[in-house]
Amino acid sequence: MKIKFVKDAKSGTDYLRKLLYTLVDSKTALFLSGGKTPKDAYSQLAFEQKIKPGIVAMVDERVGIKNHPNSNEKMIKETGLLSYLERKKIPFYPILRSHLKGVASDFVKDYDKKVRYLLGHFSKSVGVMGVGEDGHTAGLPSGIKNSKLKIQNYVAEIDDFPGDHKERITLTFNALSKMDTLIILAFGENKKEALRKMFEKGPIEEIPARFYTRPEISKKTILITDQKI
C-alpha cells in the first residue's frame, strides 16, 4: 500500500485533487463515497472545473427518499459537483430513485446492474473511500458478523448498520476488488485508532477496513492521512 502522509486535512484534500487529475480521464469510472471527509475535495473539484471522468457513481448511500437530509447524494450535490457534471454532460449514477414507492431491495437490484456495467465498460475505475472511527468503510459495518459482507453481488443492502441510519446500500468487497485504484482518506486524531486496527491482523467482519491490507488489494490502494501509523 502506498501511504501519503500529509500535514493536515487541507493538505490531504489538495493531494487528493492533484492525484485525481492524474488518474482520471474520459475512460474512467469514478466512484465517490459520502461522509464529511471528502466534502471539501468535491467542492474544490467543482470550483476548478477540470476533472473530466467518463462517469461518476456512488459508493454508498443511506436509504430514504431521494435527496433526503442525510443522503450522500445530497451532500455531493451541495458541493456543486453534480451541477458541474451536468454542465459537462458527464453522467452521474445515483443509488436512490426519485419515486417514493421504491424499496431498498429494488434499489440494490438496479444499482448492482449499473455497477457491473460500469466496471465492465470503462477501462479504468477509481474509488474515493473513507474509514470510519469504528473501522467501517463504505456502507460495510464493523463489529457485525454480517453474511452480506462476503456475498458475490456488487451491491448489498445493510439493515443493521450501527447507530443512526441503519439501512444502507453499499458496494461490496467484491465490487471494490474490481477497481483499479482505491484512494482512502483518513484525517484527524479520531481516525488514529481506526487506522491502527486496520493494519492489525484479524477478521474483516470486525474491521472492514482491513480489506485494504489484503495483498491483492493493497497494491492498488493509496492511503492519504495526517496520522502516524
Note the pLDDT tens digit of each residue in 90-119: 999 999 875 555 556 678 889 999 999 999
Q: How many domains does the chain have?
A: 1
pLDDT score of 189: 95
Q: Band of the pLDDT at 13, cuts 50, 70, 90?
A: very high
pLDDT in tens, 122-178: 999 999 999 999 999 999 988 766 556 667 899 999 888 877 778 899 999 999 999
Q: What is the domain extent for residue 206?
A: 2-225
15 Cβ contact list (under 8 Å, min separation 6): 4, 6, 224
Secondary structure letter of residue 116 according to DSSP = H
Q: Determine contact, residues 106/63, Cβ cutoff 8 Å.
A: no
Q: For residue 107, give the nearest of 159, 142, 149 by alpha carbon.
A: 159
CATH assignment at residue 74? 3.40.50.1360
